[in-house]
Structure 1
């Protein structure tokens, strides 16, 4: 049969599938590595690959995934030795002779001499005899690859005996890596075997395919069921709740106690469409897969995984690697995110949200927050092995990442080339020729490996060190030369392995070699807490991490300038502890578990906030299907609310506006503080409107509060009757009727009231958000004069911007009130009405120029009690793909560039120092077919750095240009004349802020927004929190008790201890501010 299927399958390989002179250089952060030459070390291993026959990247999608590294002391001489796996040649074992010199003992040690396809490798004392054994994963039962996994039992004299069959571990299939740990706390090591799928009919479909077992590709959990000295491993996969299907493309695994309950949990990184798996250990020999309960989204093509404490809060965080390039030209010509439509299809199939970039998941006890975009660790290109540890001994864990793939099948020009191949021309006998041709023209790109040095407070600096450009895969760390810092060993394709000698100096350290008495070398999962100088440092011993590799079993602490350790607490796997004091720094300590006491884990508070009897339900509308270049949806703006006393009983009631086809609800408060919905016929009649904002004011001057409801929704056409605002007149007893009047019909954004002309009647500002189907153009907004008799007339009509919020206040205490506006693609703007009755823009006068942002909300409060109103402003935050400043703005050019009577918003932003178009080439061509001929190749499109390069129109002639200079959520402190800009705490920058509530010096907020297009990604790492403003600065953020995936829109005080937080398109909750 013709091999056409394999060739076409290559189109799906957007997933995983000039040496510079070695030199000693130091980055500006003090971490210094030296590339040790093979001629000095004696390590001449090279993972050489030669595509042929049925063994190449077309026939086996993971052909260029490379090999792994294991570091461990096989002869107990105190020096860690090196094992390399090879794909098309024999594996190698090197004995550490000291001083970074190694001896090749591969033949003498009796490790396999066959050239089978080895993948991951793990060192483990599987039989508890105090000697490290070696388990090697293989690819078998696939075409010409017919090997079984191998277990080399250490004989104690630098030789090994292969005994996988005897232990029940001679699996033959598509193995990636094995991780050994005691999952059931019975004192021996069990094994999780991570396997990977190859494209088949069982690897595509909905999530229900997880339940279909696959004997070659499915993961396996083996329980150690040793009896009477006979060690035997039994497959307990199904009983333990582990998925075993071909849907999983398992490429990486790490084990850690995610929820700090004393039981080891498992994180599995999957390639392609399948979710990553987070198996939470239930403590009864079963696991619950909980990825969607702990993560809002994950990497799309997860290739490497590690866990470690990155913010020194003594909880394990998780990093996963993907393939997002950091070079602008490579980024523009590489396959990236799913289209919005494909993203929706995957969601309908039951898959979790994924993005093709690295994720750095911060542990928040009951869930994780991805902060990779905040830390700028999200893009390192085709990355494999992340290793979290302290490489410069400053007390902060850094991140080392290996990079590169020998052939890049995700190059979009190459994919187009394959798509145009006439397969019919190639007969069966010419298929090998065609395959070789396709492999030959597949692009290559060497990359440098990356070191992110942790500077504290979640600031990471990318190393400036000149690492050699390689195709690097597996990596592991150890202090190979016993000088007190961690060295790194890397397995490379088609060139010699890298040994990086760490030459960092002038910082203290502590190394622990821990053992459980009579249990050999198995202490994986042990936790260590080091207390010194008022700080707590946390480590968890696990050797399998990164990609295809296992690192040293020794535990290393960097101590910076700390010279005295107060104590070290070791929490063993059996829930006992050992406390050590008077440990000398700058040396290795051997610790044997002997005298222990019981240790009780603190229970994590898993209580949920109280549900409120209201659920906002957005109608389904996909804005991007009508406007292909927009960055965000504007059809999901609710709910609105008004908190006011509508029946005159002295208690504040609550009006909540509905989404399209959802009626508003009026909740009446009773003396006990409870809220009961009141049936009102007019609200049912008006359910077809979408309420985007509302205010309470006495419109008919009868001394009770009426409601002005602002309509909106980008799913309507401009001028649609359902965009008309409504007024509900109160009879004083909370019975409402609709005012029979013709009101404005705009896509509303904000309504606010003030008697600006001092005639005793409340006037209105009506702020419009956008013009339907014309994103980027500013709609008309209005100031309406209240003329009495339930009538308003237009006093001012102006394009103020894309308005999201508005407030009236006297900012400079001059007796004249200003109108303060927030919106998209605009600064926080201040307007005043002068003595002549004209509008004046006072933005620059108040020092608010160059604050152009994507502002969602503003709140006015005197934060520092100086008598001046300050401004709190909610923005997108810094955990966002776009970065903006005055020097490097995000710029949007808005015009009908192709004269088809449709507005085209073309956005450029700064991508790691280069200005690039936000829209993909496909999206631009779909919107502007006129540019297709100009950019036939992605390589040409990758050179586009400005609107001029698109050759559409002279920049000076473009209808509208808008910019973003500031994406941080901010406080603007009023000194009486102008504003001083202060960014909110870093935790408040993890996501959008949608609303504030201020009580004294306590500032509460809620956020998250899932309406950004896929290229930007959901903003979902902070549903809410609080902080204080003290002495001119903000203190530490405290999270509100809200669900992980909550999208908060409004935050409302309902009593002195509780806040009601309204959700967009979901359940609303009451959260206690004392928790």
Structure 2
């Protein structure tokens, strides 16, 4: 529960200093990490195509298109229930698209549209509780309404029976089981298409085994065809005339882990629904889906294939005869489990919405080659990722702190900070090998070029993981290139970066964390100064989850603390050349997920904090010579996964933030009195299954903020300097992420911080420009050129918040379109009209005789 905050600037700052209360300063706007399907239609009747994004476990989202291909979460639509698949179509005959949801392990649902993109449950429970990840809508029985095909890929609990069902629509969106049971097979997807030219839609089932084709007699009754259509681990089959003979051929997308071969295939149709394998083996990726469309405008059908994590999503070009070659164009490397192809930006070509599992979904646009085409990442992201680790650094050289976020699928996201603690994905995430998880990330200048590089330590996600750790070199702009060196083949669980051998370059200490509770050999990677590492065994064995580096025993050599979940924490003394000796000390009994070194008690020597998943975290104080004693401090609460030490209150002692995962426990803030005695502060923070935390000044206000990365994708920046805008938004009835500074909950094009700056209502669309400035109390500023004979001046009239430290009002002028700091000579006059706001005029007299001048008035969020 939030502590009440007064709206005056002084009272707010005092409240924060006294209570150390953090507010959410940034979070990913759309949640969820389990996207599995997307479907598009004009759901709000505004003439463009919108998207329903479906998640297997998380809530789904209705995304509204502004007509130019820019999507925002609908402010009025209810969250969509979790499902394995969904399709939009007019189910009840009222002219707007409704939503059929194929539920995973539950009855399927029909959600009806009110015509404005707001969906509600019709109350139907369709079919049994099968595992479903596909659904198809089509008029199967010729009565001019949409029926449904429901494949299943596992039986109901307690049963061994599995089959695909056909449910018929009565025209009003009410469905009845036709009683047909199409085979007994694990169907991954269904495709409805007239394959034999009789005008009736047939059904192709993608199966873990021999794929099946069912022929429609015209009344919605299906008979199994004897034709072959591939067999393997097929996830998708799509039909189009691929060889120019006017008959619909089949592109079969198969998935299988390397080194096993199960390549994608093309099957040619003889016109009667009999298919022959063309003999092509297209790619060796684990393919989930395929879209068939003419990408290169040569009047034949090409293919876009969605592949598994770290494998590029591919474009295959057709030569017109049905022979495909791989094009040098990709649609990213995140696993596109579904691709929706349509003209989303209104420019009369095909764009691609990628539903991505484990990472944010993406939109890719067709654009001219001279604009970055033929297919370009729009930069839009929808959803989140399942985080496993974090690193920080100014990766792009703009003097703020960015984030590298490791994830469960082996791809590192680079989140670029705009300087105000607002983060955005860079377009080139870092893949770290098929089958790998990111266990930890170390950041530092490994090759001596003064740019922050990354060492990504990996562990297995699947049986085909190479487990190799990878070095990524930064060019200084935040673009990374992978080193050809693959280091080690262990189960990396943690990493620390330091010069352990005294040769003035950064080495790495890697903790081995085998799956489960086995023990592995820890290692040191010695750097030759160019970013090439030589590994050697050191620091014992164990299931190591935390490593900390510092000067522990007062000999000026780097020492190391090793924390494990299966063994006590150990202390290793360095000799300055890269050799370490076990001090013989055993701290605690294990269950340690992270270790911190810091002066927690104000006495000489670095102390050790063991963040434990059970038994409570423990503090061990240093005698000054590297001998440790357990403190009497009791930290309540289990399930700690990570921790950060930082000076919260500016009193020079270290406070603690405990990130707690496992079952969505709230994070904890413990404040230190300077002697190593800690008090748990209230409130606790969130319930986001925290995996990693970093403390730093992300928004540039001089206070320490906390970046929290969540396994569930609820990544949050907790900041002390963001509360003014949020408190203002809360005063108008807004809650949660709708109060964040850069949100626009009333969809009037004015973000919350601007509403705060101009005394507007963030919960009401009121984006009007100031009319009569002499009497105005709110509104957007007026900016004009004032002419007096040969003299010219830029004049801005604005409503201004009094004492608003987080808002920067700026009149800028330049002789070209490259604006810098406001010029000298600006005059400012203000007239307060209440305790919080004033009318302010900014004036800049342009030098005479003037060169060409450009001017603008801006309001920046600058906490």
TM-score, normalised via structure 2 length: 0.40
Q: Indicate the structure with greater helix content.
A: 1
Q: Indicate the structure with greater strand content.
A: 2
